[in-house]
């Protein structure tokens, strides 16, 4: 694909003593279309030249030679040089590229040979999968897809919360009353009940607490009875989690959770001991982080047992060795900001390769608020994610019943699932991830708003257009001059930007960049569609418009799939 930014940078590098690469990074895309396709701000040259930025802009414009490039014109607006690309060049490039790559348009090789771990979802065994876990699940899956499409080898890990002293209590509770509960039907709710009950008893009766501690110790030592029970709790919980994962079509490459690292913490302690930085403090062993302005990171409790952080350190060591990662992204809510800062600091002492050390990154995200309290809740604010997803599906099912009664039941079910789930996914990924999210049924299911259903609806429209022709026109028959009206060209520019949009999303670990793009493309297509009749008598006009529709169809589907949104063929 032609890289217009590169062409611009190359021209400027000949008249200014700044590297082409640096110049390329300085080039911006103006918000206002009238300001050209690209802009080079001259503020940063003021010091270098000892001149006002506006004058520098004039100077540069006088010197620059852009004959033999795809630059149409360069204009000065204040301290900016606004650059416009030849429309014809852009149009031809987009068509050539997409016709060669089809559904692979957007795929890149920049990540070849590099490994990226995305750790996401990571719910806790025997505890509810809450709405925060839904966000990590969706953000993480999107990042996984985005890196994969850029050519990185991606490893998706669900770091299950399947370890801790509470399992000693669970075992004790199950031992006493297991028969009273039906774990098969609603395992997590049942296990929670057992847990609450045994906790009460532990408070009343010291010997029960002692027995629970003993169970945990046995579990650590691999005792068969305790391990089997733990395995049962884990399996049952996973079975419930997979009802949600299946609805969302979520997959993991590894389910190695905290328990997997329990026997790998000794090595962490040994390594830390050797650095001389592991110190005693009130009976516990800690790494002091005062120099880094943080509270200390505890490694061993006073009774000698390790904690959450220790297992995370063991995981870093293991992952560095096993996956030789270039990046390890932790998609976890912002409540754990301090935890990750601490363990990343301590990880510097583990002797892992520098690239791994630098590749550790906490991808934090905001909370979800409900607009109305109407959603099914239990225990106050815990929303049952599975119910939420089912409700989204059933609401769309009702809408389909009204809108498209002619569809078969099977078709309605199928659409309801894709659109209902798509709406929830889109809503979760629409805003920048660090912002808190508002959940409101009316907003997320609005077919005309900035929503998942709107993108899907636009896609379905492109489908119906394409169904009207038997064959796609040959590329050689498409006259790109017929696509230079305002609406068509806007669509072309967006299509051109798609590969860069994916790279930006990876750079910032921000799926919302893709969400924004999909809305922009949908809106641009809608204006194109409203302004231009597609099926017309002039064959060449029709061919060009059909081809544009085809490209939008491909890119909408491809972009949505990065977010995990499936497209219905009808709607």
Catalog residues that contact ligand ARG under the rule CB under 6 A. 119, 122-124, 159, 161, 312, 330, 332
Task: Using the minimum distance from each CB to ligand ARG, give the nearer residue, 287 or 332.
Answer: 332
Reduced to 3 states (helix: H, G, I; strand: E, B; else coil), residue 107 is: coil
Distance CA 443, CA 348 (A): 45
Distance CA 355, CA 117 (A): 13
**Minimum distance from residue 339 beta carbon to ligand ARG (Å):** 7
Nearest to 259 by CA among 396, 139, 165: 165
Phi, psi of 111 (to 5 degrees): -95, 5
**Minimum distance from residue 258 beta carbon to ligand ARG (Å):** 8
**Minimum distance from residue 481 beta carbon to ligand ARG (Å):** 54
List residues bridging with 75 in a β-sheet.
82
Task: Using the minimum distance from each CB to ligand ARG, give the nearer residue, 127 or 355.
Answer: 127
**Minimum distance from residue 257 beta carbon to ligand ARG (Å):** 8
The residue with tokens 């103006």 is 30
348-367 in b/e form (b: 16+ CB < 10 A) is ebbebeeebbebbebbbbbe
Nearest to 119 by CA among 147, 152, 149, 144: 144
Task: Using the minimum distance from each CB to ligand ARG, give the nearer residue, 82 or 342.
Answer: 342
Task: Using the minimum distance from each CB to ligand ARG, give the nearer residue, 21 or 335.
Answer: 335
**Minimum distance from residue 119 beta carbon to ligand ARG (Å):** 6
Joined tokens for residue 549: 């529709």
Task: Using the minimum distance from each CB to ligand ARG, give the nearer residue, 71 or 117.
Answer: 117
The per-residue DSSP string of 112-164 comes to TT-EEEEE---PBTTS---HHHHHHHHHHHHHHHHHHHTT-EEEEE---B--S
Number of Cβ within a 10 Å radius of residue 241? 23
The residue with tokens 């994916």 is 502
Number of Cβ within a 10 Å radius of residue 36? 21
**Minimum distance from residue 359 beta carbon to ligand ARG (Å):** 14
List residues bridging with 370 in a β-sheet.
439
Task: Using the minimum distance from each CB to ligand ARG, give the nearer residue, 5 or 159.
Answer: 159
Say what angle helices 539-563 and 87-101 make with each other, to 10 degrees: 60
**Minimum distance from residue 254 beta carbon to ligand ARG (Å):** 12
List residues bridging with 368 in a β-sheet.
437
Distance CA 345, CA 202 (A): 37
Task: Using the minimum distance from each CB to ligand ARG, give the nearer residue, 147 or 344.
Answer: 344
Task: Name the closest residue to ligand ARG (Cβ).
Answer: 161
For strand 278-281 and strand 80-85, is the pairing parallel, antiparallel, or unpaired?
A: unpaired
**Minimum distance from residue 124 beta carbon to ligand ARG (Å):** 5
Task: Using the minimum distance from each CB to ligand ARG, give the nearer residue, 230 or 330.
Answer: 330
Distance CA 314, CA 262 (A): 8
**Minimum distance from residue 164 beta carbon to ligand ARG (Å):** 10
Task: Using the minimum distance from each CB to ligand ARG, give the nearer residue, 255 or 466.
Answer: 255
Distance CA 87, CA 502 (A): 23
Task: Using the minimum distance from each CB to ligand ARG, give the nearer residue, 5 or 311.
Answer: 311
Task: Using the minimum distance from each CB to ligand ARG, give the nearer residue, 124 or 542.
Answer: 124
Nearest to 105 by CA among 501, 482, 485: 501
**Minimum distance from residue 45 beta carbon to ligand ARG (Å):** 45
**Minimum distance from residue 381 beta carbon to ligand ARG (Å):** 16
For strand 278-281 and strand 368-370, is the pairing parallel, antiparallel, or unpaired?
A: unpaired
Distance CA 414, CA 569 (A): 10
């Amino acid at each position: 694909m032609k890289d217009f930014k590169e062409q611009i940078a190359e021209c400027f590098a000949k008249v200014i003593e700044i590297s082409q690469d640096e110049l390329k990074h300085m080039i911006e895309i103006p918000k206002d279309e009238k300001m050209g396709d690209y802009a080079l701000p001259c503020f940063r040259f003021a010091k270098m030249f000892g001149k006002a930025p506006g004058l520098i802009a004039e100077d540069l414009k006088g010197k620059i030679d852009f004959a033999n490039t795809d630059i149409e014109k360069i204009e000065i607006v204040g301290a900016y040089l606004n650059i416009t690309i030849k429309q014809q060049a852009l149009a031809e490039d987009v068509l050539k590229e997409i016709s060669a790559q089809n559904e692979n348009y957007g795929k890149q090789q920049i990540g070849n040979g590099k490994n990226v771990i995305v750790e996401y979802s990571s719910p806790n065994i025997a505890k509810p999968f809450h709405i925060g876990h839904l966000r990590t699940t969706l953000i993480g899956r999107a990042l996984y897809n985005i890196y994969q499409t850029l050519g990185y080898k991606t490893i998706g890990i669900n770091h299950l919360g399947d370890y801790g002293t509470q399992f000693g209590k669970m075992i004790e509770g199950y031992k006493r009353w297991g028969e009273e509960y039906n774990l098969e039907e609603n395992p997590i709710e049942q296990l929670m009940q057992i847990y609450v009950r045994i906790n009460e008893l532990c408070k009343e009766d010291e010997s029960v607490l002692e027995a629970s501690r003993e169970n945990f110790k046995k579990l650590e030592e691999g005792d068969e009875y305790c391990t089997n029970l733990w395995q049962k709790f884990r399996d049952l919980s996973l079975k419930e989690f997979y009802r949600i994962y299946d609805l969302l079509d979520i997959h993991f490459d590894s389910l190695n959770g905290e328990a997997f690292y329990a026997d790998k913490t000794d090595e962490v302690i040994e390594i830390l001991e050797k650095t001389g930085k592991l110190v005693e403090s009130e009976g516990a062993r800690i790494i002091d982080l005062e120099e880094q302005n943080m509270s200390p990171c505890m490694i061993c409790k006073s009774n000698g047992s390790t904690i959450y952080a220790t297992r995370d350190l063991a995981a870093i060591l293991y992952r560095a060795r096993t996956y030789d990662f270039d990046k390890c992204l932790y998609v976890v809510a912002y409540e754990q900001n301090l935890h990750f800062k601490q363990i990343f600091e301590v990880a510097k002492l583990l002797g892992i390769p520098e690239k791994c050390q630098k590749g550790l990154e906490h991808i934090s995200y905001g909370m979800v608020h409900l607009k109305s309290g109407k959603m099914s809740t239990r225990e106050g604010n815990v929303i049952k994610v599975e119910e939420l997803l089912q409700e989204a599906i059933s609401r769309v099912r009702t809408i389909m019943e009204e809108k498209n009664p002619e569809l078969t039941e099977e078709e309605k079910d199928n659409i309801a699932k894709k659109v209902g789930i798509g709406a929830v996914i889109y809503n979760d990924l629409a805003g920048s991830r660090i912002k808190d999210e508002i959940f409101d049924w009316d907003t997320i299911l609005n077919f005309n708003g900035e929503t998942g259903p709107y993108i899907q609806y636009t896609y379905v429209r492109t489908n119906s257009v394409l169904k009207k022709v038997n064959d796609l026109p040959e590329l050689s028959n498409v006259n790109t001059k017929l696509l230079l009206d305002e609406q068509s060209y806007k669509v072309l520019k967006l299509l051109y930007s798609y590969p860069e949009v994916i790279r930006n999303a990876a750079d910032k670990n921000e799926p919302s960049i893709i969400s924004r793009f999909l809305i922009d493309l949908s809106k641009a297509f809608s204006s194109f569609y409203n302004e231009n009749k597609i099926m017309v008598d002039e064959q060449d006009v029709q061919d060009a418009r059909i081809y544009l529709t085809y490209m939008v169809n491909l890119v909408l589907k491809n972009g949505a799939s990065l977010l995990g949104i499936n497209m219905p063929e009808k709607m």
